[in-house]
């Protein structure tokens, strides 16, 4: 009798499990570059934080930051994670994109975007970022962050950035190839790529952007349509992203546990292009805010520069591009019907 009772309870529990509602899972397409600056997104996926939020996430790799903005504005991606560009500001200024969180920052003392010289140019004396202005500079596109960084360098030196020295190569892989073959004399590239090229004797590191142009360089954004139609999904994405940012900060920025650092770096590395040898991973750590907060004043400085160059309309206002309520007010999460409460 006791055995029958136990069997009956087991069957009842099984029926209850079968009858229980299955949590709804949403698909989310994220456009990004496979850079260390996107680490928080990679951590959220690798550590199951997106799954905890009932999100199925896939990554859409783009060849340039401005292409990420276009992917989100056109509806090809739900969320974009990349650097601030003139293209982004123009789309956001027209109301097609909204900033919902911060990504990486250029901060003194931390790796990030890195000035590189091709081998022959270095041997001929190109040994500092200031000297790049007199040489051929490889960038993706007009209005890219690479354009902005060289422009800021020119301003700091009291020079005009000569348009004919800027070689527009349209994509990051093309920039790397042009540097290695010395079709251009210098490029600016994220730290993990820079250390990889340097370790293989394919280029020389000559300086860091953070020593000249510190501030917010990367952001997370979505479209107003996504915020309106799927606020619950975007909120859950931000919950996972913020949790991953906290892991990153506590382990890689302020942590002292070498084993934990190596474990997290290895998880990030499998999403990078190119992947790094284990010994180079610690050198590539960029700075991320623990709570994914963007540095708004430096974002305004970026916008001002693009507007001064005539690349973004002067009427566009940064405040209108921000939508940080879901990041800053986690208790105001939308319900299952997408309504805030």
Cα separation, 128 vs 132, in Å, equals 7
Is residue 274 reached through a cis peptide bond, with omega within 30 degrees of 0 on the bond before it? yes
Per-residue pLDDT of the chain in tens (341 residues, 90 and over written 9)? 555 555 455 545 555 544 555 466 899 999 999 999 999 999 999 999 999 999 999 999 988 888 999 999 999 999 999 999 999 999 999 999 999 999 999 999 899 999 999 999 999 999 999 999 999 999 999 999 999 999 999 998 999 999 999 999 999 999 999 999 999 999 999 999 999 999 999 999 999 999 999 999 999 999 999 999 999 999 999 999 999 999 999 999 999 999 999 999 999 999 998 899 999 999 899 999 999 999 999 999 999 999 999 999 999 999 999 999 999 886 555 443 334 43
Structure tokens that stand for 252 in this block: 């890689």
Q: Calculate the CA 102 to chain-centre distance.
A: 8
CATH class for the domain made up of 26-106+216-332: alpha beta
Q: Confirm whether 26-106+216-332 and 114-213 share one CATH topology.
A: yes
- β-sheet bridge partners, residue 57: 28
Tokens encoding 119: 């081998």
CATH number of 114-213: 3.40.190.10
Nearest-angstrom CA–CA distance, 30 and 64: 14
Which residue ranges make up each domain of the chain?
A: 26-106+216-332, 114-213
Q: How many helices (H) and strands (E) does the chain have?
A: 14, 13
**Strand ranges (DSSP E) for 136-256?**
137-139, 166-168, 186-189, 204-208, 215-216, 218-222
Coil vs helix vs strand at 207:
strand
Residue 98, classed as helix, strand or coil, is strand
Closest CA to 53 of 290, 324, 238, 247: 238
Q: Measure the CA–CA gap between 255 and 249, rounded to whole angstroms.
A: 8
């Amino acid at each position: 009798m006791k055995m029958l009772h136990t069997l009956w309870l087991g069957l009842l529990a099984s029926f209850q499990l079968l009858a229980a509602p299955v949590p709804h899972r949403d698909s989310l397409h994220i456009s990004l570059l496979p850079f260390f600056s996107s680490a928080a997104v990679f951590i959220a996926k690798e550590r199951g934080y997106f799954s905890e939020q009932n999100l199925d996430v896939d990554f859409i790799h783009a060849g340039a930051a401005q292409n990420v903005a276009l992917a989100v504005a056109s509806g090809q991606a739900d969320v974009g994670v990349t650097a601030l560009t003139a293209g982004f500001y123009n789309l956001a200024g027209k109301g097609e994109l909204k900033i919902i969180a911060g990504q990486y920052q250029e901060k003194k003392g931390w790796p990030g975007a890195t000035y590189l010289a091709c081998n022959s140019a270095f041997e001929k004396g190109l040994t500092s970022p200031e000297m790049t202005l007199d040489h051929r500079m490889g960038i993706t596109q007009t209005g890219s962050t690479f354009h902005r960084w060289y422009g800021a360098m020119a301003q700091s030196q009291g020079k005009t950035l000569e348009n004919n020295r800027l070689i527009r190569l349209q994509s990051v892989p093309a920039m790397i190839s042009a540097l290695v073959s010395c079709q251009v004399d210098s490029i600016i590239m994220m730290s993990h790529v820079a250390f990889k090229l340097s370790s293989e004797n394919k280029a020389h590191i000559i300086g860091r952007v953070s020593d000249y142009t510190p501030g917010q360089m990367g952001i997370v954004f979505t479209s107003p349509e996504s915020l309106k139609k799927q606020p619950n999904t975007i909120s859950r994405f931000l919950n996972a992203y913020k949790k991953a940012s906290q892991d990153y900060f506590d382990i890689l920025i302020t942590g002292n546990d070498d084993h934990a650092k190596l474990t997290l770096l290895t998880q990030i590395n499998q999403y990078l292009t190119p992947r790094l040898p284990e010994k180079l991973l610690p050198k590539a750590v960029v700075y991320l805010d623990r709570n994914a907060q963007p540095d708004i004043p430096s974002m305004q400085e970026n916008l001002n520069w693009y507007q001064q160059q005539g690349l973004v309309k002067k009427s566009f206002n940064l405040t209108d591009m921000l939508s940080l309520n879901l990041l800053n007010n986690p208790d105001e999460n939308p319900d299952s019907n997408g309504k805030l409460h």
